[in-house]
Amino acid sequence: MSDSLTLATERDGFALLTLDRPDKRNALSLALRHEVVARLDEFEKNDAVRCVVLAAAGPSFCAGFDKGELLGGNMEEVFAEANEYHRRVFTFAKPIVAAVQGQALGGGCDLAAMCDFRIAATNAVFGQPQVHFGAAASYDLMRSVLGSGHAREMCLTGRNYDAQEALAIGLVNRVVEPGDLIGEATTLAAAIASVPAGVAEASKRGFLEHQPTIF
């Protein structure tokens, strides 16, 4: 049995990366964060991969950072590592499409927001509930996606947003039935992968160059 916390497959021009910790609602343990970054590093060096679909096994996309590890670790070290993980995902050189079902909360909401596109199932739920436990929300990141007004509301109230409200405020690109989620995300990835070599990567570099520093 594999000890891997992700599943990765390559298709025609894109890769499907799946968080595979469903019994923990794909909570972002240190090991899972490192593995996500390592997989993205591999895809970045692979010219055959032009785009990545980020999906998740089980009913939840990602319930956030692993609380047990957060409570048991040196917080200064945890935050330094977490900031590097966020930076590496956010600045990944190729487009990422998030396929989101169920909970995408806290660090899971951040992970979806760091992707270039978000396709949500009708049962998806987004939010920054960590503010209720004394942890700051990722305002700069959410503002880069939502604009100031919606980002402030999300980050100050800590309330949840269902898929339709997430669509209305611009957090997701489209909402589909759960059974259509992966198909819709991979269709988008294939369309991105079909453009001439280097175009998507150059476009993303341009997006990041004009993006205020977040991580």
Burial of 196 (0-12, 13-18, 19+ CB in 10 A): exposed
- pLDDT-based confidence at residue 147 (cuts at 50, 70, 90): very high
Picking from 52-61, 66-75, 101-110, 118-127, which range would have the lowest pLDDT averaged per residue? 66-75
- pLDDT-based confidence at residue 134 (cuts at 50, 70, 90): confident
Domains of the chain and CATH, by start: 6-209 (3.90.226.10)
